[in-house]
Amino acid sequence: MNKELENAIRDAGRIREPLKRIRVKDYKEVMYKKEQMPLSLPDIDSLRDFGGCYLVHGLYLLQVARLRMIALASMIDVSITAEYTRAADRLKKDAPEIEFETICGDFRDQSLYTILRETDAALLYEVILHQENYVEVIRNVCKKTRKFICLAQPCIIEDFFVLPGGAVMLQFFDEALKDLLRTGSFWPKEPSVERFSAAYWMWGQTTSHLINLMRGFGWALYEGYVIDNVCGSCWEYPMLVFSKK
Ligand SMILES: C[S@@+](CC[C@H](N)C(=O)[O-])C[C@H]1O[C@@H](n2cnc3c(N)ncnc32)[C@H](O)[C@@H]1O
């Protein structure tokens, strides 16, 4: 490509979403912020957590149910943990007016959405980077959510991309390259796979990619900021709330 054009594209492409950037003490602080994000949303009476079980056993959903006394708390996970079921049952005893919906299912599956009720808000915490059809997943989540979607996950840093809105499918990268991208992050060493596996990291999506995607489905950034120091220097951790336009 002609050098002048390349440089002009580089310069024009450097403009990205100007989000506030913060640093935290540790991942515990990130978890606290993930708890607070849905708690601060106005006028929500139902919440669905997509993939809220692994390690945290529904913490983010249950906290909102407990403190906001919402009418419906819905969990969808392909692997519902016994700890989640126990915690939801305990809360149900204390607050019988809350309806708990637990769906052991795969949210990549289009047919799941035909049976889902709408909720006021939804959580997509650390799940979108694992789905080969994440655009479809987001489209379906948008359709089934009335007001707010909270999205938080490691995103690959914008510096790797000349153009804004970048995303890279990294599941099949050479192990040596993946190891470099893992540096200082909590992306664990994983077995190499020959086919897509939602159990492992699949995508390096940029924050601007996710914001553009939501924009395409008619959702605007309601609030958002980026945490810089929780996942190594190749990743940033955006905390984003979108509202329906
Ligand atoms: C990385 S963990 C994130 C857990 C939690 N949301 C958090 O932020 O700590 C991913 C979770 O999503 C679930 N999951 C991933 N892909 C899924 C899919 N396609 N359908 C249903 N559950 C899925 C996993 O079982 C797991 O509980």
Q: Ligand 1 within 6 A of 51 CB? A: yes
Task: Assess whether the C-beta atom of 132 lies below 6 angstroms from ligand 1.
Answer: no
What the block records as the tokens of 157 is 């840093």
Burial class of residue 4 (count of CB atoms within 10 Å of its CB; 0-12, 13-18, 19+): exposed
171 C-beta closer than 6 A to ligand 1: no
Report CA(124)–ligand 1 centroid distance (Å). 9
Question: Are 49 and 58 within 8 A, CB to CB?
Answer: yes
Do the bridges between strand 203-205 and strand 167-169 make them parallel or antiparallel, or are there none, so unpaired? antiparallel
In a domain, 76, yes or no: yes
Residue 184: pLDDT over 80: yes
Dig out the tokens for 23 from the structure. 């640093």
CA distance 29 to 120: 26
- Tell me, what's the pLDDT at 18? 86
Q: Is residue 224 part of a domain?
A: yes
Place of tokens 């607070």: 36
Give the per-residue pLDDT at 64.
98
The answer to the question of residue 197 being in a domain is no
φ and ψ of 91, to 5 deg: -65, -35
In a domain, 184, yes or no: no
Is 54 close to ligand 1, i.e. is its CB under 6 Å away?
yes
- Whether residue 213 is contained in a domain is answered as yes
Residue 19: half-sphere exposure toward Cβ, Cα within 13 Å: 23
Q: Which domain holds residue 137?
A: 15-156+206-231+236-244
What is the Å distance from ligand 1's center to 11 Cα? 37
Q: What average pLDDT does the segment 225-235 reach?
A: 97
The closest of 26, 34, 79 to 61, measured between CA atoms, is: 34
Give pLDDT, residue 245: 85
- CATH number at 225 reads 3.40.50.150
Residue corresponding to tokens 């989640």: 84
Atom of ligand 1 nearest to the CA of 56: 9
Ligand 1 site-directed mutation target among 84, 127, 171, most atoms within 8 Å of CB: 127
Say which DSSP state 133 is in: T
Mean pLDDT calculated for residue range 27-37:
98
**Is ligand 1 within 6 A of the CB of residue 130?**
yes
pLDDT band at residue 217, thresholds of 50, 70 and 90?
A: very high
Residue 52 C-alpha to ligand 1 middle, in angstroms? 6
pLDDT at site 15:
82
Average pLDDT value for residue range 28-48: 98
Could you give the number of structural domains in the chain?
A: 1
Contact 153, 187 (CB under 8 A): no
- Which DSSP symbol is given to 173? S
Q: Where are the beta strands (DSSP E) in 67-164?
A: 72-77, 99-104, 119-125, 145-152, 155-156
pLDDT grade, residue 78 (50/70/90)? very high
Residue 215 lies in a domain: yes
Q: Whole-angstrom Cα distance, residue 47 to residue 241?
A: 14
Residue 54 placed within a domain: yes
Is residue 17 pLDDT above 80, yes or no?
Answer: no
Q: 7 in a domain, yes or no?
A: no
